[in-house]
Amino acid sequence: MHTATPLHTAVSDLPPSSQAAEPNLFGLDQTRMQDFFAAHGEKPFRATQLLKWIHQQGVTDFNVMTNISKTLRQHLTDIATLHPPQEITRQTSQDGTRKWLLQVDQGNAIETVLIPETERNTLCISSQVGCALDCQFCSTARQGFNRNLSVAEIIGQLWMAEHSLRQEQGFTVPNAQPSGPYRMISNVVLMGMGEPLLNFDNVVSAMKIMMNDYAYGLSWRRITLSTAGVVPALDRLREECRVNLALSLHAPDDDLRDELVPLNKKYPLKELIPACQRYLGDDTRRRVTIEYVLLKGVNDSPQQARALVKLLRHLPSKVNLIPFNPFPQSGYERSTPKSIELFRDILIKADLITVTRKTRGEDIDAACGQLAGKVQDRSRRERRFSTSTSGVNS
């Protein structure tokens, strides 16, 4: 049975990071941190000191940073803040998956999921409060959309999970100059709430902090960004911050994808697939991960499997087949094990690398497509959905 651990701090008592008067240094990558210190007459090496203390050691109190002069520590207390997202609850699934509900401002909360495995710990990070897209089979989409997350709120999810796990393992912050990273989180996937490429600048800045050797030191091979296919942003990403790419495809043709992933109406497959090819470039070692949620009687037929083979024939890729994870009033059902197996076999026989993803965290609504959080919906999507379902059920 899963457990839920509430914190004693009331949601209304939490200081919203977006309203802080001073800059939140959580949100500064190395270049911006150097600019911050230069503006206050300090040398560039101060940036690396702060990055190490914040991200490698998990320190949020300037006064603990003992290799920084007392005068500068006091000055930082006056002109800046260190404010990560605040934990409201955490839940643990029967399979070990964890889900945190994190407060990001007075009315909104996001969810972050840890997927532990034998040789790695993967953290699934959110990029928006809700989601600006309207994918029909996704619980997050039904919550509507409020705003983009800041850099501090994105990287703060990694900070929170990393240092929570360290505390559980008995690692304590040394009262001395930090000497290097010790990572509990080995992989990061931007597959949580939101469409990362619609929050491009903040997501890229956060990923640069993840890869910075003075912060988390993650290789680009250990960071995966999942997108429904924002074509212009894909081209920008290739130039500015190349990481592993996952494409939320879910249909082998435009007619069905227009229904399931409405963004397809703006960026149809004839534009999206070439954009993925451009992203990979000439690097023969790289592949796009194709995410395909299997919906009973909707996109799981043998004919659709063969159409998917044809669609992907010139795109170096590997396919993750994802059994649909139900949520209330979704209107969809999970494909049967037999149809999933048949669909997979057709792809494998066509020499497509294909795996069926094991569902994790379903008992705490932490599985793919189930993240909801708390969203003050500005899109009125949730209201429209509630109205439409009430009409159907009446």
* The pLDDT of residue 8: 29
362 band by pLDDT with thresholds 50, 70 and 90? low
* The pLDDT of residue 281: 92
C-alpha to C-alpha distance for 93 and 3, rounded to whole angstroms: 7
Residue 20 has pLDDT above 60, yes or no: no
Token look-up 């993650």 returns: 218
151 alpha-carbon distance from chain centroid: 12
Question: What percent of the chain has pLDDT above 90?
Answer: 63
Q: What is the mean pLDDT of residues 198-202?
A: 97
Active site residues: 111, 368
Residue 243 has pLDDT above 70, yes or no: yes
Quick: pLDDT tens for 285-315. 899 999 999 999 999 999 999 999 999 999 9
* Domain containing residue 147: 86-393
Is 372 or 66 the better-scoring residue by pLDDT? 66
| 31 part of a folded domain | no
| 126 part of a folded domain | yes
* The pLDDT of residue 7: 33
* The pLDDT of residue 284: 81
The amino acid occupying position 387 is: T
The lowest-confidence range among 14-23, 327-336, 349-358 is 14-23
Q: What is the mean pLDDT of residues 157-186?
A: 73
| 300 part of a folded domain | yes
Q: What is the mean pLDDT of residues 210-215?
A: 95
* The pLDDT of residue 238: 93
| 74 part of a folded domain | no
Residue 330 has pLDDT above 80, yes or no: no
144 band by pLDDT with thresholds 50, 70 and 90? confident
CATH number of the CATH domain containing 120: 3.20.20.70
| 279 part of a folded domain | yes
| 130 part of a folded domain | yes
* The pLDDT of residue 14: 35
C-alpha to C-alpha distance for 378 and 143, rounded to whole angstroms: 10
The lowest-confidence range among 37-46, 47-56, 137-146 is 137-146
Quick: pLDDT tens for 262-291. 999 999 999 999 999 999 998 888 999 999
138 band by pLDDT with thresholds 50, 70 and 90? confident
Q: What is the mean pLDDT of residues 138-150?
A: 82
Residue 23 has pLDDT above 60, yes or no: yes
| 50 part of a folded domain | no
* The pLDDT of residue 332: 87
379 band by pLDDT with thresholds 50, 70 and 90? low
Q: Which CA distances in Å does 1 have to 114, 363, 371?
A: 17, 9, 19
Helices then strands, each counted (H, E), the chain: 12, 13
DSSP 117: -
Q: What is the mean pLDDT of residues 141-153?
A: 87
Torsion, Cα 365 368 369 372, to 10 degrees, reads 40
Q: What is the mean pLDDT of residues 64-87?
A: 93
If we measure between CA atoms, which residue out of 373, 365, 17 comes closest to residue 193?
Answer: 373
If we measure between CA atoms, which residue out of 122, 134, 133, 124 comes closest to residue 102?
Answer: 124
376 band by pLDDT with thresholds 50, 70 and 90? low
| 95 part of a folded domain | yes
* The pLDDT of residue 314: 94
C-alpha to C-alpha distance for 140 and 126, rounded to whole angstroms: 11
Residue 272: count of CB within 10 angstroms of its CB: 24
Domain count of the fold of the chain: 1
